[in-house]
């Protein structure tokens, strides 16, 4: 079990799915059972499982070698695709996971501002970086307490945790710590407490507060990047961060993530600058081949028109069965009738009922995220048939 959420304990199972293969919107487990997949590897597979162009590109790349530890043209081409797509990104560094991208972006922000404090939001997840595995305390804005054993308090003492969508909490935190604040890091559309959109003005307020305090605004677009729009949430909401973290779709399902932003910030990275960051498999040729095979097709505007149509169809079908929250091709059906504006709200959802829904659907060959606090990831492989079948099965749950 190489990542906890896969264990399916959050939905009351002690035997997780073991997958044999994927194809389009479907998974097949090792016993030959077929499932309609709404997890889609947690977001990377915008064209579905075993997408023919991606598989062919990876196969071709593998025949030329799997890793060189030296620059390749594909890395430059993928960087160019990212710079072309993501409005605020002038330069980008490729890494191997979202965690590595977040860790590196945090270090870069601290170096660039010569400050240590980082403000994050309860319920937002940026990978298992020690400094960002900080849970919220009881206060409006609390100094981060380690949210896992093995994270020394010293590494989270400079992490401040605020409530998502709470502009006043952020403003008071900036007022108190402004001089020492290196960055505000946020999922511009939260996906790790279930899908929680930013309330109108929230992202703009973060931008203003960063400008006023000299802190950098970091958008963690690992999920939203290339999903809610080709240019991610920063394009959709027209709010420009100083640094952007990308993952999932950018690697086409292979281990590739990235962080990027203004050239004056990115130039601080070694070898051009003095901020150390490195990786044996950074820009790996198989991963860049997969990323390019995907990103090169996202310039077609019909991609996002289709994703929006399918997302809207799913949302309207789910609406009678709980609180649906959606942005583009990411959605969550919360087991509550109340709006979910932050992690406290999300935790009031009936997770037992969600677990019962998960098991009901799994028995009917439909694989929902094995946690209430995750999303449904619509892909271009999910057609009306898949959507309508899912809606009917949820209606049958009652």
Q: Which residues pair with 332 in a beta bridge?
A: 325
Binding mask of the shown chain, residues 17 to 46, with x at each position contacting ligand KE4 by CB under 6 A = -------------------------x----
Min dist CB 44 to ligand KE4, Å, is 9
Q: Which residue among 248, 304, 345, 354 is the active-site one?
A: 248
Nearest CA among 99, 93, 100, 63 for reference residue 289:
63
| 157 carries an active-site annotation | no
Q: Strands 216-221, 181-186: parallel, antiparallel or unpaired by DSSP? A: parallel
Query: What whole-number distance in Å separates Cα of residue 249 and Cα of residue 318?
Result: 25
Q: Extract the tokens encoding 204.
A: 């703009």
- 332's enclosing H/E stretch is strand 330-334
| 14 carries an active-site annotation | no
Cα 362–Cα 376–Cα 307 angle in degrees, nearest 5: 125
Q: Which of 27, 102, 196, 340 binds ligand KE4 (CB under 6 A)?
A: 102
Contacts for 272 with CB less than 8 Å, ≥ 6 apart: none
Min dist CB 191 to ligand KE4, Å, is 5
Min dist CB 197 to ligand KE4, Å, is 14
Query: What whole-number distance in Å separates Cα of residue 274 and Cα of residue 235?
Result: 31
Asked whether position 127 contacts ligand KE4 by CB under 6 A, the answer is: yes
The C-alpha torsion from 66 through 68 and 71 to 73, rounded to 10°, is -30
Nearer to ligand KE4, 213 or 332 (CB): 332
Nearer to ligand KE4, 38 or 42 (CB): 42
Q: Give, as one character, the DSSP assignment of residue 223.
A: T
Query: What whole-number distance in Å separates Cα of residue 309 and Cα of residue 126?
Result: 29
| 220 carries an active-site annotation | yes
> What residues numbered 272-301 form the site for ligand KE4, per CB under 6 A?
none
> What residues numbered 348-387 form the site for ligand KE4, per CB under 6 A?
374
The window from 27-35, 125-133, 168-176, 275-283 that contacts ligand KE4 (CB under 6 A) reads 125-133
From residue 213, alpha-carbon distances to 129, 149, 155, 173, 184 in Å are 25, 33, 23, 11, 11
Measured over the CA atoms of residue 244, residue 79, residue 99 and residue 277, the dihedral's sign is negative
Q: Which of 26, 35, 47, 125 binds ligand KE4 (CB under 6 A)?
A: 125
Asked whether position 75 contacts ligand KE4 by CB under 6 A, the answer is: no
Min dist CB 168 to ligand KE4, Å, is 24
Binding mask of the shown chain, residues 212 to 251, with x at each position contacting ligand KE4 by CB under 6 A = --------x-xx-----------------------x----
Per DSSP, helices labelled H in 90-227 are 98-113, 153-156, 167-177, 202-213
Asked whether position 123 contacts ligand KE4 by CB under 6 A, the answer is: no
Q: Are 251 and 222 in contact (CB under 8 A)?
A: no
Q: Extract the tokens encoding 223.
A: 């999920």
Q: Which residue among 26, 35, 125, 304 is the active-site one?
A: 125
Q: Which residue among 51, 158, 220, 345 is the active-site one?
A: 220
Q: Which of 49, 91, 120, 126 binds ligand KE4 (CB under 6 A)?
A: 126
Residues interacting with ligand KE4, by CB under 6 A? 3, 5, 42, 97-99, 102, 125-127, 187, 191-192, 220, 222-223, 247, 257, 374
**Catalytic (active-site) positions:** 125, 220, 248
């Amino acid at each position: 079990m190489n990542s906890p959420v896969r264990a399916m304990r959050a939905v009351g199972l002690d035997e997780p799915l073991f997958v044999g293969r994927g194809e389009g919107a479907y998974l097949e487990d090792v016993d030959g059972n077929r499932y309609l997949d709404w997890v889609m590897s947690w977001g990377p597979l915008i064209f579905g499982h075993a997408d023919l162009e991606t598989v062919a590109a990876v196969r071709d790349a593998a025949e030329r070698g799997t890793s060189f530890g030296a620059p390749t043209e594909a890395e430059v081409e993928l960087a160019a695709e990212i710079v072309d797509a993501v409005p605020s990104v002038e330069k980008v560094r490729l890494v191997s996971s979202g965690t590595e991208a977040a860790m590196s972006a945090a270090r870069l922000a601290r170096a660039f501002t010569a400050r240590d404090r980082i403000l994050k939001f309860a319920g937002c997840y940026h990978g298992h970086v020690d400094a960002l595995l900080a849970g919220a305390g009881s206060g409006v804005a609390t100094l981060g307490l380690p949210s896992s054993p093995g994270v020394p308090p010293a590494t989270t003492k400079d992490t401040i945790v605020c409530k998502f969508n709470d502009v006043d909490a952020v403003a008071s935190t900036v007022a108190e710590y402004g001089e020492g604040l290196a960055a505000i890091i946020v999922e511009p559309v939260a996906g790790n407490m279930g899908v929680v959109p930013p309330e109108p003005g929230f992202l703009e307020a973060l931008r203003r507060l960063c400008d006023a305090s000299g802190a950098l605004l970091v958008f963690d677009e690992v999920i939203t990047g290339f999903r809610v729009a080709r240019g991610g949430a920063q394009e959709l909401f027209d709010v420009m961060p100083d640094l952007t973290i990308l993952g999932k779709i950018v690697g086409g399902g292979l281990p590739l993530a990235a962080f990027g932003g203004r050239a004056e910030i990115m130039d601080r990275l070694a070898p051009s600058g003095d901020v150390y960051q490195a990786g044996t498999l950074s820009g790996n040729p198989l991963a860049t081949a997969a990323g390019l095979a995907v990103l090169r097709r996202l310039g077609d505007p019909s991609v996002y028109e289709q994703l929006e149509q399918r997302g809207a169809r799913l949302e309207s079908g789910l609406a009678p069965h709980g609180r649906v929250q959606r942005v583009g091709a990411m959605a969550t059906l919360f087991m509550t009738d109340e709006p979910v504006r932050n992690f406290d709200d999300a935790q009031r959802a009936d997770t037992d009922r969600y677990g019962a829904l998960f098991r009901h659907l799994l028995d009917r060959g439909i694989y929902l995220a094995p946690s209430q606090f995750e999303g449904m990831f619509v892909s271009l492989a999910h057609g009306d048939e898949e959507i309508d079948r899912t809606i009917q099965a949820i209606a049958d749950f009652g």
